[in-house]
Structure 1
Amino acid sequence: MHAGRLVFSQLMEFFPWRRFQTCVRRYGGDHKIKTFPCSEQLRVMAFAQLTYRESLRDIETCLRAVGNKLYHMGIRSSVSRNNLSHANHARDWRIYADFAQILIHKARSPYASDDLGIDLDATVYALDASTINLCLSMFPWARFRQTKGAVKLHTLLNLQGNIPEFILISDGKLHDVNVLDHLVPSPGAYYVMDRGYLDFTRLYQLHQAKAYFVTRAKKNLKFQRRYSHEVHKQTGVQCDQTIVLETYYSFQGYPEPLRRIRYYDQSLEKRLVFLTNNFDLPATTIATLYKSRWQIELFFKWIKQHLRIKSFYGTSQNAVKAQIWTAVSVYLLVAIVKNRLGIKLSLYTILQILSVSIFEKTPLVELNSQSDYKYSQPPCPNQLLLFD
């Protein structure tokens, strides 16, 4: 007799399944499908992410070993390599992309009040891209260089809670700066970027949208200094200037003044030059904002180490994108569960615990509790005493 609910089933309850079915109907994902619908495909792919399965054969073997529990996991169909491979190849990846956007919206609100450690009442985003290398002979559609294949994961990360706000999956040849054309700027927000996004025409569009940007200047930047602000060099700020671009095309792209800050980072023993369109914040706050950009590097490192997005279960473009979006959904799911249940552990620790307890029937709160709580079974009143 099956009593209690599996940890996997408890996790899946945090997915908004009615809204997922809306995404499925939008792209006809279950059209003429009698067995193994999109909802079961998502559950199987989530299981693979949570338990670090490496291949379709690995997924099939593990799920068949616990065949008597599949029904209680929400999987009614038989799981085979052929079924899952066909589903990943044929089901539109935009189903999972749209569903991930729904989860982003659900995860964003609870973390909106998180403290960044900066005295700033505004949303701060970090924009960057990470390359996922692929074998060109197996993924011919992902040509990057003559003998290499790759896809790029362009991400706009909300630094309050490290929740991805925008994700674009492209081939490896798309330059990072082109992603600025896909963004819808939020007025009053701060966008922190490295030098790869230094395009003055696109930055001026951010400025016209009443958004702020912080980026680094290139060494060959030509400008005219209009005004120098007073600085305290003990803070690391060496100069704080108001400048105007001197090169013709740069000035045509950004015709208004910019703020140039030169900062010496003692920990790196390196001089950094920042450009921003914000003239109100202290120079040290601008430097701290750029330093917070490192969070997106940690985000890329985390998902590559702890989710399955470097080895893929299919070779088609649809299968690769579906797997990446499923991995993002699992990351967001764990973030939502962490906030809803008030779990104090890190996302990494939660994932490690879930990976070894996915088939247990322990409540999620108890499973992720840092206390030494032990479940005690109440005494049975019908138990006879052997000794007085």
Structure 2
Amino acid sequence: MAHCSTVLSQIVRIFPRHEFQSLANKHHVGQKFRSFSRWTQFVAMLTAQLTGRSSLRDVVDNLSVQGSKLYHLGVKVFSRATLARCNESQPHTLYEELFQRLLARCQSMAPRNKSFKLDGKIYLLDASLLDLTLSLFPWAKYQKNKGAAKLHVGLDADGYLPAFVDLTEGKEHEINHARELELPKGSYVVFDRGYTDYTWYQELCEDGVFFVTRLKSNAIVTPGKKRRGRKSPGVIEDREIHLGKLPETFRLVTYRDEETGIIYQFVTNALEIPAQTVADLYKERWQIELFFKWIKQNLKVKSFLGTSMNAVKTQLWIALCAYLVLSFLKFQSKVGASLQRMLRILQLNLFEKRDLEELFKPSPRKNTIRNNQLALL
């Protein structure tokens, strides 16, 4: 049998050690570490994400029992207090930059979304609240007696990768984050009515970015002429409109969902694509809801191992790195398994010496019963 290092050791090789060390030197503050390192912090926190550890003590104990296997990971034994201090004081920007580098690698491998025949990229935009205790997280202001942080994500529809990510106070409005995004020209961005802002719509038009959203009930609409052409089933009306005092011509697509019978009104500046594609693009927005649901159920982004914003962001960026690791392995192995199933397999084999590429590929069953043994006579 060929020699294999542990599954965790093979996973961390996805992050080239020399690149990581250059980032660690770039984002280090304070005195030099004696025996601890940012690499040790990263391996510990990544392991915590992949195994669902619930506390710093749990993280330390989980790695301590694997002491004989830590050497090959480049990790030394450490204490809970040391890990806690590092999470609180060392800049989270290291892992933000590490995330961006791994994201670029994943995007180069991600399969193209074949549901749409569009030239530009498709981004699904949304935000989700992470409830926090205000007394422990005083920076996470949301309501008078309630704390929360808000996770803003722009999901790339190719591979469903989080291309744009930020964490803010819970009271930060989504549109403030949206205005700062640098969306590529010719791309499509899909969002809900919480992002309604006519000034931003105008900016998107000027930047050559197409958008699809739903029309608010109090929208100021000036109807224009109906658009010609055959309508797909479900499309009730397709007409040009003007919003408020904006000079741009927009498009209003009224659509009835065949399954629920609910009627939707979509607004877009994409005048050339079919009306059905407009409806399908907004339906695709459901994928970002599934993304938020998945990371909250499978990664540690609802409870945190530190109370400062830096500690929370450190944990968040490493959690998103864990999500990218799973996506990277899925794209690389080209298996049809879900990310959740892959995560469960990793949890059971993280410290086992097995080949990572073969871990998600079931071995063919061997029929060890001879034909003559099947005969009764």
Give the TM-score taking structure 1 as reference length.
Answer: 0.90
Report the Cα offset of residue 322 of structure 1: 0.3
In 2, Cα distance between equivalents of 1:31 and 1:184: 36
- Residue 49 of structure 1 corresponds to 49
- Residue 244 of structure 1 corresponds to 242
- Residue 159 of structure 1 corresponds to 157
- Residue 128 of structure 1 corresponds to 126
In 2, Cα distance between equivalents of 1:9 and 1:82: 25
Say whether the 8 Å CA contact 1:6–1:73 is kept in structure 2.
no
**Structure 2 residue identity aligned to 1:314:** G
In 2, Cα distance between equivalents of 1:204 and 1:341: 43
In 2, Cα distance between equivalents of 1:341 and 1:267: 36
Say whether the 8 Å CA contact 2:113–2:157 is kept in structure 1.
no
For these two proteins, the number of residue pairs brought into alignment is 364
**Structure 2 residue identity aligned to 1:174:** E
In 1, Cα distance between equivalents of 2:29 and 2:160: 31
Say whether the 8 Å CA contact 2:119–2:186 is kept in structure 1.
no
In 2, Cα distance between equivalents of 1:89 and 1:40: 15
Aligned ranges 1:312-331 → 2 under 5 Å: 312-331=304-323
- Residue 177 of structure 1 corresponds to 175
Q: Residue 30 and residue 331 in structure 1: after superposition, are their counterparts in 2 closer, same or farther (change >3 A)? A: farther
Say whether the 8 Å CA contact 2:4–2:355 is kept in structure 1.
no
Q: CA RMSD in A?
A: 1.6
In 2, Cα distance between equivalents of 1:344 and 1:79: 38
In 1, Cα distance between equivalents of 2:255 and 2:98: 42
Identity %: 40
In 2, Cα distance between equivalents of 1:100 and 1:326: 8
1:26 aligns with 2:35: no
Q: Residue 255 and residue 234 in structure 1: after superposition, are their counterparts in 2 closer, same or farther (change >3 A)? A: closer
Report Cα offsets for 1:307-346 as digits up to 9, x if no partner.
0111111111111110000000111112112222333322
Q: Give the SS at the match of 2:134.
A: coil
**Structure 2 residue identity aligned to 1:193:** F
In 2, Cα distance between equivalents of 1:33 and 1:172: 34
- Residue 88 of structure 2 corresponds to 89
In 1, Cα distance between equivalents of 2:95 and 2:179: 23
- Residue 141 of structure 2 corresponds to 143
Report the Cα offset of residue 208 of structure 1: 0.6
In 1, Cα distance between equivalents of 2:232 and 2:242: 27
Report the Cα offset of residue 181 of structure 1: 1.8
- Residue 64 of structure 2 corresponds to 64
Report the Cα offset of residue 25 of structure 1: 2.2
In 2, Cα distance between equivalents of 1:335 and 1:30: 35
- Residue 345 of structure 1 corresponds to 337
Report the Cα offset of residue 204 of structure 1: 1.1
**Structure 2 residue identity aligned to 1:86:** R
Structure 2 stretches of 5 or more lacking a match?
A: 367-377
**Structure 1 residue identity aligned to 2:341:** T
**Structure 1 residue identity aligned to 2:53:** R
- Residue 103 of structure 2 corresponds to 104
Report the Cα offset of residue 232 of structure 1: 5.2
Report Cα offsets for 1:229-250 as digits up to 9, x if no partner.
24656611111111112xxxx3
Report the Cα offset of residue 28 of structure 1: 2.0
In 1, Cα distance between equivalents of 2:113 and 2:215: 28
Q: Give the SS at the match of 1:70.
A: helix
In 2, Cα distance between equivalents of 1:281 and 1:370: 42
1:229 aligns with 2:227: yes
Say whether the 8 Å CA contact 1:89–1:319 is kept in structure 2.
yes
In 1, Cα distance between equivalents of 2:130 and 2:154: 17
Q: Give the SS at the match of 1:226.
A: strand
Q: Give the SS at the match of 1:144.
A: strand
**Structure 1 residue identity aligned to 2:89:** A
In 1, Cα distance between equivalents of 2:187 and 2:53: 39
- Residue 75 of structure 2 corresponds to 75
In 1, Cα distance between equivalents of 2:146 and 2:18: 41
**Structure 1 residue identity aligned to 2:272:** D
**Structure 1 residue identity aligned to 2:95:** Y
Aligned ranges 1:261-280 → 2 under 5 Å: 261-280=253-272
In 2, Cα distance between equivalents of 1:39 and 1:343: 30
**Structure 2 residue identity aligned to 1:93:** H
In 2, Cα distance between equivalents of 1:38 and 1:120: 42
Say whether the 8 Å CA contact 1:88–1:322 is kept in structure 2.
yes
Report which stretch shifted further, 100-109 or 228-237: 228-237
1:334 aligns with 2:326: yes
Q: Residue 372 and residue 54 in structure 1: after superposition, are their counterparts in 2 closer, same or farther (change >3 A)? A: farther
Which runs of structure 1 show a deviation greater than 4 angstroms over 4 or more consecutive aligned residues?
A: 231-234
Report the Cα offset of residue 23 of structure 1: 2.2
Give the TM-score taking structure 2 as reference length.
Answer: 0.93
Q: Give the SS at the match of 1:141.
A: coil
Q: 2:288 aligns with which of 280, 287, 296?
A: 296
Q: Give the SS at the match of 2:139.
A: helix
Q: Residue 233 and residue 86 in structure 1: after superposition, are their counterparts in 2 closer, same or farther (change >3 A)? A: same
Q: Give the SS at the match of 1:127.
A: strand
Report the Cα offset of residue 59 of structure 1: 1.0
Report Cα offsets for 1:21-63 as digits up to 9, x if no partner.
2322222258511221111100000010011101011111111
Report the Cα offset of residue 269 of structure 1: 2.1
**Structure 2 residue identity aligned to 1:237:** V
Report the Cα offset of residue 109 of structure 1: 1.2
In 2, Cα distance between equivalents of 1:204 and 1:325: 32
1:362 aligns with 2:354: yes
Q: Residue 29 and residue 269 in structure 1: after superposition, are their counterparts in 2 closer, same or farther (change >3 A)? A: farther
